Chains A and B, each alone.
Chain A
Amino acid sequence: MITMDFAYYRPKSIAEAVNTFQDLTLQNKKALYYGGGTEIISMARMNKLQFAAVIDIKEIPECNVMQINNQKLTIGAAVTLTKICETNLFPLLSRAAKATADHTSRDKITVGGNICGLIPYREVVLPFLLCNSQVILAGKEGQRTVPITQIFDKTLKREKSEFIVQILTDRTFIDLPFEFVKKTKMEEIDYPLVTLALIKLGDEIRAAVSGLCSFPFRSSRLENEINQISVPLQTRIDNIMSNLPGPILNNLQGSAEYRDFVFRNTLLDALAKVGGAS
């Protein structure tokens, strides 16, 4: 049971959502944009999150789009992970969605909610980082389209009044060869020790990682090391581990030492599969 009280708004348009957020802000009320709401409900129940209102974006038509047009795949922020998997327009994203939570939870978890969540893992962002997808944000200053690689640094950097409307991905990326590996400690359905997503763009390998640090990331230093095919693989992996963008996560799912061990071996196997071993 959630003991605190808050108000619920369900706007039918982007403008209505932003105006509602602005009105609440002027009244000094903290509002949260609400997609699937699974994380918000869980945290509210544990009194780990305080807010005065939620603005449910699921009835905004633009947030429910899932289509390929003009060589772009458009995915609305309120599209559920189940719909991503069932339609399977973007196989790597489907794979990442299937790695998130369990099937029934995925009927509720949305793409936008996962990317903007507070948990460290947020695997759904990995394919978008690899494909240089564009994020359409709406806020009090209107709408803007930004490459996700520019605004995703540990979290999605956005103005308080902004929410994700859609994510656009160039069609040329969505059928590229990929490798996606999620390692858990014991159960198939659990938070990851490490999750590794690779795509191959010609001779170039791109990599994005979740679970290794306290945030998902795609790192140019990591990719530079991976793509130095003339350097022995073990040396490349040692260099990668010396240049991570943050400390290795150390929590109940796994110690930092164990994650280090698992990630090295995951990388070794995955690179062999995509032709990046030698």
Chain B
Amino acid sequence: MFQVLSKSLIELEVNGEIKSIVVRPADTLLFALREQLGLTGTKDACGNGDCAACTVLVDGWPVKSCLMLAVEAVGHKITTIEGLKDIPIQKAFLDKFALQCGYCTPAFIINSHALVTIHPDANDEVIKEWLQSNLCRCTSYEEIKEAVKWVLGQ
């Protein structure tokens, strides 16, 4: 049985690489990614599962890293915004001006990338359902939706 009883060395697979880090069992994945691995593209905002700025992919599905323990991620493939390079949704965000201050953007890109990968035929209802998870206080929602639709149309 896998167990972590106190502060310990664990291995996480992040962006295709095995990383060794020291965590307490109570540390969230968000904390481990930012503070232990320096992957600060995963944003710390509400810390309570409300804003989704900390979204990462776990085995290809979007998950709020503030609501996942780092030890829980052992044995799973984690992808952060730093692990996504030259993907269509990134170009679409630029072309469609789907960002303003940019703080929520990494998480929106992560979520949108998962959406177009898992549901390449997503309709408006599915797009709305997925994008509703993330908050953007600059309210770029329409442009973000356009970016997703542009990728789906390719």
Contacts and interface: CB of A to CB of B under 8 A. Distances in A.
Interface stretch (B45-53, B85-93, B94-102, B142-150): B45-53
A37 B49 contact: no
Given A2-B27, A38-B49, A105 B64 contact: yes
Interface residues of A, number: 34
Contacts of A102: 52, 132-133
B62 A104 contact: yes
A229 B128 CA distance: 39
B100 to A, nearest CB: 21
Contacts of B72: 8, 37, 56
A207 B67 CA distance: 33
Contacts, number: 91
B26 A4 contact: yes
Residues of B contacting A: mostly: mixed
B5 A11 contact: no
Interface residues of B, number: 34
A37 B64 contact: no
Contacts of B48: 42, 45
B17 to A, nearest CB: 23
B68 interface: yes
Contacts of B2: 9-10, 59
A12 B3 CA distance: 11
A42 B66 CA distance: 9
A5 B24 contact: yes
B132 A5 contact: no
Interface of A: 1-12, 16, 20, 36-38, 41-42, 44-45, 54, 56, 59, 82, 98, 102-105, 107-108, 188-189
Contact of A5 (B26, B58, B111): B26
Given A8-B72, A82-B61, A104 B3 contact: no
B69 interface: yes
B132 A10 contact: no
B67 to A, nearest CB: 5
B129 A10 contact: no
Contacts of A103: 62, 129-130, 132-133
Contact of B3 (A2, A4, A9): A9
Given A5-B24, A7-B25, A37-B72, A108 B63 contact: yes
Given A2-B28, A102-B133, A104-B52, A9 B67 contact: no
